[in-house]
Amino acid sequence: MATHAPILSPSLLAGDHAALAESAMVVEQLGLPWLHLDLMDGHFVPNLTFGPETLAALRRRGLKLFFDTHLMLTEPHRYIEPFAKAGANLISIHIEPAYDHAAVLRRIRELGCKCGIVLNPGTPAAAIEPHLSLVDLVLVMTVQPGFGGQSFRRDMLPKLTQIDAWRHERGLNFRLEVDGGIDLSTARECRSAGADTFVAGTSFFRAPDTRAFAAEFAEIA
């Protein structure tokens, strides 16, 4: 089992929605490899964001970033093919809605993407345990999803520790991602609990100096 090098995945949700490509280019120009894309349907979470065409438009602008695509959808199985065709590299789906999670994870792989499983703060780690061998990434939400700028929930740290323990005990190789209230301070706490992939939205895009933020994150990692 490999130990993953930490990755900062800035969330485009916190970028300038009138200039999404330019916000994404800030990430690429800093040499950061990943961009996190939050897709919300107004049903599973009380907000609406982007669709597949947004990803396709970013690709047409020449962006080569790894698109870390997080589907906060009641029926993600209806949309994985459009997102894969639009340029997603990894598609993560939530455990909470009722559908055939394993089948959808397999289908994401068939479409040429990596796959991930996500759990909300109120969902126990045991809910995703049966799927750990199927995924490339587990995303632990450290806020209730729907809106950016929320405060980090430290009561999620034991969940990270448990999932990281399962990963080591079973010799699995998935990445362990955190999303919600992640800044330089909370990233340190999550890193200590086993996380290796960090979604930073507000803290990154509203930083006085994004280059300095990325450099400080690299020191944490």
The answer to whether residue 179 is catalytic is yes
Identified catalytic residue from 41, 136, 179, 196: 179
How would DSSP label each residue in the chain? -PPPPPEEEEBGGGS-TTSHHHHHHHHHHTT--EEEEEEEBSSSSS-B---HHHHHHHHHTT---EEEEEEE-S-GGGTHHHHHHHT-SEEEEESSSSS-HHHHHHHHHHTT-EEEEEE-TTS-GGGTGGGGGG-SEEEEESS-TT-SSPPP-GGGHHHHHHHHHHHHHTT---EEEEESS--HHHHHHHHHTT--EEEESHHHHTSS-HHHHHHHHHHH-
Identified catalytic residue from 38, 136, 183, 196: 38
CA distance 220 to 185: 9
The answer to whether residue 16 is catalytic is no
Q: Which residues are catalytic?
A: 38, 179
